């Protein structure tokens, strides 16, 4: 009886087990010849790009979404006044005709908008849409508290004429132009069909939530609830559909207003499919089997092991570049052990940073000595590095008064009359295997020299809470920056140590404070670079952090895509196109 069950089961296994994923439409063309054929120089439209997304976007509302996946998708659908030149990283106009006029006192910014911009529904974009977009951000009832915070300094916005807007800010800050230029333009008639915000001014919105008009509440309610799965903007790609947990699909807009115009990024690929695969291994398998075309992030292990075969290199090309982040060990400068800068410097000497990059990152990274993005002009390349030198480290510790007086294998010292062993806890957050490895490697090395460190892995929210409340001895963390101009005030100024600010290690240095304050008001880029050189030298001497490394990012792209280039900010899929002869997917792009 049981045999009768097993036979069909085995048959099923044989039948379906050996299948592979096929693609619909045209029979697959042999892709192996990509490398050999000549590629024409004029880009062709067509084909699909299937991108890997590690997690589903939480929602596709341009203002209330705050996760990385939604930002990536929405970046193709919406546009802003200014954008950055991919090569020079300078601000340049997109929806605006030119960079804004800035008043003498640096408080007023005036932008003129292009007259030929159209939204995806065909309607022209005017100053009214821009003003609406600003109101939506400033509205305290819209669920975007983390976006709104950037605009705290904006106190008024007025339309001078249908295509000109004037912004008034509270205090001079050289990054204001970039913030204002980055406002995403939303079509008013789509996001506020009843024009509820028509008679509300920006000044009205500065009031507390209780004093706001009924219309504002109605608008915010509607905006928060009903616009999470159907974005509409002015960008080159239109939202098509979203299968939750699986895929978001964008379709090229053939009537894109920027088509054929100089200085505007042109779209070529017909469809962008953001395919969600939560597991990195599964994603690599899908890449290799043809279900994905582009993986933005390959794990170091995959780079070194899973992507070396001849077949892989025939079909895919790997690109390496640096992301503007850095990882560090943060010492609690208020902790009795780490108050002494000699101890902190000793720790840096005891950390084999080069070996960590080699073994834990498989060589995909660079050791850094300061908090500025490695590739920005402000980074001081002349700083001498701290080599891995346990002898020097131990000498510094001895100088600071640490030795093993009781023979238990752990260094100790008398602080305030009590014998304190050199024992501390490094906190890390769960979910990050690389940082865990870094902490464990450090632990192992320190143990050999009589330093009893331990590791505690905590859930992110608990971890962050401890960090902000300064409840830690040491942490391994990273900072994520942008490739734009740095501003270190938030992390290094002593005022930011209170109130759960970003200066979690309680670093205090009067000269650094001075530099950081003057820097913000300095509009001359050269002078800023000089100031920051001094800043980095002070940090180098005091080692409030042990700066570890900047990680290298490796992406894999299917070879049929042309114009794939590495820019300071990474790759730009919008530029990519596939020659007609090698296009894999065929679809018709219907104009609406």
Candidates 195, 230, 313, 355; binder of other proteins (CB under 8 A) is 355
Q: How far is the CB of 26 from other proteins (least distance, A)?
A: 12
Binding mask 171-200 for other proteins (x = CB under 8 A): ------------------------------
Which own/partner contact pairs does 98-106 have at CB distance under 8 Å and 24+ positions apart? 99/177, 99/181, 100/167, 100/177, 100/180, 100/181, 102/177, 105/172, 106/172, 106/176, 106/523
User: DSSP labels for 1-68?
Assistant: -HHHHHHHHHHHHHHHHT-----SSSPPPP-GGGGTS---SS-----EEEEEESS--S---TTT--SH
For other proteins, the closer of residues 62 and 127 by Cβ is 62
Binder of other proteins out of 43, 140, 363, 568 (CB under 8 A)? 140
* Closest listed residue to residue 233, CA positions, set 404, 63, 430, 443: 63
Q: Shortest gap between Cβ of 112 and other proteins (angstroms)?
A: 27
428 in contact with other proteins (CB under 8 A):
yes
Backbone angles phi, psi at 380, to 5 degrees: -85, 100
148 binds other proteins (CB under 8 A): yes
Residue 450: CB minimum distance to other proteins, A: 6
Q: Does 10 bind other proteins (CB under 8 A)?
A: no
Q: Please tell me whether residue 244 binds other proteins under the rule CB under 8 A.
A: yes
Please report how close the Cβ of residue 352 comes to other proteins at its closest, in angstroms.
8
Question: Of 39, 45, 66, 164, which one interacts with other proteins (CB under 8 A)?
Answer: 66
Q: Could you say which of 125, 131, 248, 277 contacts other proteins (CB under 8 A)?
A: 277
Among 30, 122, 193, 245, binds other proteins (CB under 8 A): 245
Q: Does 422 bind other proteins (CB under 8 A)?
A: no
Stretch that binds other proteins, among 4-12, 73-81, 520-528, 569-577 (CB under 8 A): 4-12
Apex 180 CA angle, 177 and 184, nearest 5: 140
Site for other proteins in 516-575 (CB under 8 A): none
Which residue among 195, 201, 279, 469 contacts other proteins (CB under 8 A)?
279
Residues 72 and 58 sit within 8 Å (Cβ to Cβ): no
**Least distance (Å) between residue 126 CB and other proteins:** 30
93 binds other proteins (CB under 8 A): no
Can you tell me which of 194, 281, 522, 541 binds other proteins, judged by CB under 8 A? 281
Neighbours of 404 (CB within 10 A): 13
Closest distance between other proteins and the C-beta of residue 586, in Å? 12
In the range 495-524, which residues lie near other proteins by CB under 8 A? Answer: 499-502
**391 touches other proteins (CB under 8 A):** no
Question: DSSP E strands: which ranges in 303-461?
Answer: 316-322, 325-331, 365-367, 412-415, 418-421, 423-429, 452-458
In the complex, the smallest distance separating the C-beta of residue 439 from other proteins, rounded to whole angstroms, is 7
520: helix, coil or strand?
Answer: helix
User: Which residues between 200 and 219 bind other proteins (CB under 8 A)?
Assistant: 209
Run of H or E including 82: strand 82-84
Least distance CB 292 / other proteins (angstroms): 7
Instruction: Give the H/E segment covering residue 492.
Output: helix 489-492
Q: Is 30 in the site for other proteins (CB under 8 A)?
A: no
Q: Which of 434, 298, 447, 449 is nearest to 357 (CA)?
A: 434
The reply to whether 224 sits near other proteins by the rule CB under 8 A is yes
The 8 Å CB, 24+ separation contacts for 384-392 are: 386/345, 386/348, 386/349, 386/353, 386/543, 387/349, 388/349, 388/350, 388/351, 388/352, 388/353, 388/354, 388/355, 389/349, 390/349, 390/350, 390/445, 390/449, 392/346, 392/349
Nearer to other proteins, 200 or 443 (CB): 443
Task: For the segment 466-495, give every residue that binds other proteins (CB under 8 A).
Answer: 477-482, 490-491
CB atoms within 10 A of CB 306: 18
Residue 68 contacts other proteins per CB under 8 A: yes
Pattern 296-315, binding to other proteins, x per CB under 8 A?
A: ---x-x---xx---------
């Amino acid at each position: 009886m049981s045999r009768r069950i097993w036979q069909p089961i085995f048959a099923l296994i044989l039948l379906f087990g050996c299948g592979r994923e096929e693609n619909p439409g045209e029979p697959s063309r042999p892709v192996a010849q990509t490398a050999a054929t000549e590629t024409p120089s004029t880009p062709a439209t067509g084909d699909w790009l299937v991108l890997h997304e590690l997690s589903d976007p939480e929602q596709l509302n341009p203002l209330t979404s705050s996760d990385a996946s939604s930002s990536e998708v929405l970046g193709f659908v919406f546009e802003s006044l200014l954008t950055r030149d991919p090569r020079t990283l300078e601000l340049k106009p997109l929806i605006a005709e030119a960079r804004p006029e800035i008043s003498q006192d640096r408080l007023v910014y005036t932008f003129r908008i292009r007259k030929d911009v159209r939204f995806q529904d065909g309607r022209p974009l005017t100053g009214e849409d821009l003003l609406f977009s600003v109101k939506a951000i400033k509205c305290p009832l819209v669920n975007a508290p983390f976006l709104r915070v950037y605009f705290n300094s904006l106190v008024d916005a007025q339309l001078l004429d249908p295509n000109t807007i004037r912004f008034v800010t509270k205090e001079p800050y050289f990054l204001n132009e970039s913030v204002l230029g980055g406002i995403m333009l939303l079509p008013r008639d789509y996001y506020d069909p009843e024009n509820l915000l028509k008679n509300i001014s920006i000044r009205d919105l500065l009031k507390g939530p209780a004093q706001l008009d009924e219309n504002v509440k109605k608008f915010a309610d509607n905006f928060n609830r009903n616009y999470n799965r159907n974005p509409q903007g002015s960008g080159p790609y239109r939202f098509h559909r979203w299968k939750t947990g699986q895929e978001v699909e964008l379709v090229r807009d053939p009537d894109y207003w920027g088509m054929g115009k100089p200085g505007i990024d042109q779209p070529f690929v017909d469809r962008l499919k953001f395919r969600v695969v939560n597991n990195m291994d599964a994603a690599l398998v899908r890449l290799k089997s043809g279900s994905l075309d582009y993986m933005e992030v390959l794990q170091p292990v995959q780079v070194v092991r899973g992507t070396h075969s001849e077949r892989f290199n025939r079909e895919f090309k790997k690109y390496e570049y640096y992301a503007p982040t850095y990882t560090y060990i943060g010492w609690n400068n208020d902790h009795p052990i780490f108050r002494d800068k000699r101890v902190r410097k000793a720790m840096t000497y005891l950390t084999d940073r080069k070996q960590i990059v080699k073994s834990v990152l498989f060589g995909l990274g660079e050791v850094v000595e300061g908090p500025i993005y490695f590739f920005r002009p402000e980074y001081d390349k002349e700083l001498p590095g701290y080599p891995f030198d346990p002898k020097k480290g131990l000498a510094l510790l001895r100088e600071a008064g640490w030795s093993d007086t009781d023979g238990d294998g752990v260094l100790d010292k008398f602080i305030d009359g009590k014998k304190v062993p050199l024992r501390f806890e490094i906190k890390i957050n769960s979910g990050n295997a690389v940082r865990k490895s870094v902490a464990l490697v450090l632990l192992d090395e320190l143990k050999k020299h009589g330093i009893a460190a331990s590791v505690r892995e905590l859930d992110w929210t608990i971890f962050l809470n401890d960090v902000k409340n300064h409840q830690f001895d040491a942490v391994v963390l990273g900072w994520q920056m942008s490739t734009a101009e740095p501003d270190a005030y938030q992390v290094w100024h002593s005022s930011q140590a209170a109130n759960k600010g970003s200066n979690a290690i309680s670093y205090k240095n009067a000269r650094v404070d001075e530099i950081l304050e003057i820097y913000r008001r300095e509009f001359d880029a050269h002078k800023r670079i000089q100031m920051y050189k001094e800043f980095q030298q002070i940090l180098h001497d005091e080692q409030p952090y042990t700066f570890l490394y900047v990680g290298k990012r490796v992406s894999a792209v299917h070879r049929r895509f042309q114009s794939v280039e590495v820019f300071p900010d990474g790759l730009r899929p919008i530029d990519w196109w596939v020659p007609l002869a090698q296009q894999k997917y065929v679809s018709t792009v219907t104009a609406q």
